[in-house]
Amino acid sequence: MEKIISLKNVSKEFKVLNRREGLRGSFMDLFSRDYKIINAVNNISMEIEQGEIVGYLGPNGAGKSTTIKMMTGVLEPTSGDIIIDGRIPYKDRNKYAQNIGVVFGQRTQLWWALPAIESFKILKDMYQVKDKDYKDMMDLFSSTVDLDKLLHKPVRQMSLGQRTLSDILAAFLHNPKIVFLDEPTIGLDVAMKSKIRELIKTLNKEKNTTIILTTHDMGDVDALCRRIVIIDKGTILYDNDIEKIKSIFGNYRTLKVRLGKTSEELNEEAIKKEVEDMELKLKEVYPKAQTLHVSDVDEWINILVNEDEVEMIDVLNFIQRQRKIYDVRLEEISTESVIRKIYEGGLE
Ligand X SMILES: Nc1ncnc2c1ncn2[C@@H]1O[C@H](COP(=O)(O)OP(=O)(O)OP(=O)(O)O)[C@@H](O)[C@H]1O
What are the residues binding ligand X (CB under 6 A)? 14, 16, 38, 40, 58, 60-66
What residues numbered 264-293 form the site for Mg ion, per CB under 5 A? none
Among candidates 59, 95, 325, which has minimal Cα distance to 214?
59
From ligand X, Mg ion, none, interface partner of 25 (C-beta below 5 to 8 A by class): none
Under rule CB under 5 A, residue 164 binds Mg ion: no
Shorter beta-carbon distance to ligand X: residue 56 or 141: 56
CA pair distance 153, 284, nearest whole angstrom: 55
In whole angstroms, the minimum distance from the beta carbon of 233 to Mg ion comes to 14
In whole angstroms, the minimum distance from the beta carbon of 16 to ligand X comes to 5
In whole angstroms, the minimum distance from the beta carbon of 63 to ligand X comes to 4
Shorter beta-carbon distance to Mg ion: residue 98 or 106: 106
Give me the residues paired with residue 238 across strands. 230
Shorter beta-carbon distance to Mg ion: residue 61 or 260: 61
Do strands 79-84 and 5-17 pair parallel, antiparallel, or not at all (unpaired)?
Answer: antiparallel
From Mg ion, ligand X, none, interface partner of 195 (C-beta below 5 to 8 A by class): none
- C-alpha dihedral, 75 to 79 to 81 to 82, nearest 10°: -20
From ligand X, Mg ion, none, interface partner of 40 (C-beta below 5 to 8 A by class): ligand X
Using the rule CB under 5 A, which residue among 42, 65, 67, 204 binds Mg ion? 65
Q: Left if phi > 0, otherwise alpha if psi is -120 to 50, otherwise beta: which for 33?
A: beta
Element at 304 (helix H, strand E) = strand 300-306
The set of long-range contacts for 263-270, using a CB threshold of 8 Å and a minimum separation of 24, is: none
Looking at residue 321, its amino acid is R
From Mg ion, ligand X, none, interface partner of 66 (C-beta below 5 to 8 A by class): ligand X
In whole angstroms, the minimum distance from the beta carbon of 183 to Mg ion comes to 6
- Spatial CB neighbours of 332, under 8 Å, sequence gap ≥ 6: 217, 218, 219, 222, 253
In whole angstroms, the minimum distance from the beta carbon of 245 to ligand X comes to 19
- Chain positions contacting Mg ion, by CB under 5 A: 64-65
